[in-house]
């Protein structure tokens, strides 16, 4: 009787250990639990899940930095400030270089590579061109950033605006953090030319 209960105890312990190990292995394949970036940075754990969470987060924070510096270019062009637009263009180049695509599917990674390559080129031109050329490159950069956000998403509330008059009335889009139209393509010449096409987030 004593031997049977000892065997049962050992068997139960073995079963428990196996269950615990298989649960841990199973968790590695599950989608990561969303956490705030603060929690992830303070977490300190070093398992595969937290590494994947960090990778996702670094992609998201890089994407937010891209949007921030894109908006700085937009605001500088609204204010007819070539110097500030050039400065933000330089920062944007670095943001694109830091962007981590590893948490996206292979198809999305390919799209993001193409978008980022083109957007970096536009940011380079903005960082070293006179204002008229900055605005031309901002037109293409806006398309790239809109395409990027369609893949990465954003936590920011943005407005996709459209100016029908720019580029010989072919029109151009841009993103803004405010609903009020402030046109980066014409600046003080036609500040309010345009309309909100859609709200993002």
Q: Is 43 part of any domain?
A: no
Q: Is 103 part of any domain?
A: yes
The residues, ordered by sequence, that sit 6+ positions from 177 with a Cβ below 8 Å of its Cβ are 71, 156, 157, 158, 159
What was the pLDDT predicted at 7? 52
Domain count, the chain: 1
Q: Is 189 part of any domain?
A: yes
Facing residues of 198 across strands? 160
Q: Which residues of the chain have pLDDT under 50?
A: 2, 4, 11-13, 15-59
Q: Is 55 part of any domain?
A: yes
Q: Is 24 part of any domain?
A: no
Which residue range forms the structural domain that includes residue 102?
Answer: 49-200
What was the pLDDT predicted at 201? 81
- Kindly report, residue by residue over 96-142, the tens digit of the pLDDT: 999 999 999 999 999 999 999 999 999 999 999 999 999 999 999 99
Nearest to 74 by CA among 161, 171, 5, 165: 161
What was the pLDDT predicted at 60? 60
């Amino acid at each position: 009787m004593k031997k049977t209960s000892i065997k049962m105890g050992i068997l139960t312990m073995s079963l428990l250990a196996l269950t615990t190990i298989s649960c841990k292995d199973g968790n590695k394949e599950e989608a990561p639990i969303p956490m705030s970036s603060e929690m992830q940075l303070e977490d300190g754990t070093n398992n595969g899940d937290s590494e994947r969470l960090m990778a996702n987060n670094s992609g998201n924070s890089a994407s937010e930095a891209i949007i921030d510096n894109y908006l700085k270019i937009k605001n500088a062009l609204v204010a007819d400030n070539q110097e500030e637009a050039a400065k933000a263009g330089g920062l944007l180049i670095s943001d694109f270089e830091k962007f981590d695509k590893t948490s996206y599917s292979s198809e999305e990674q390919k799209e993001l590579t193409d978008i980022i390559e083109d957007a970096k080129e536009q940011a380079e031109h903005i960082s070293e061109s006179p204002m008229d050329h900055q605005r031309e490159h901002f037109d293409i950069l806006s398309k790239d950033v809109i395409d990027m956000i369609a893949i990465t998403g954003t936590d920011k509330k943005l407005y996709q605006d459209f100016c029908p008059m720019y580029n010989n009335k072919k029109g151009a889009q841009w993103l803004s953090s405010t609903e009020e139209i402030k046109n980066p393509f014409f600046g003080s010449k036609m500040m309010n030319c345009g309309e909100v096409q859609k709200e993002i987030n």
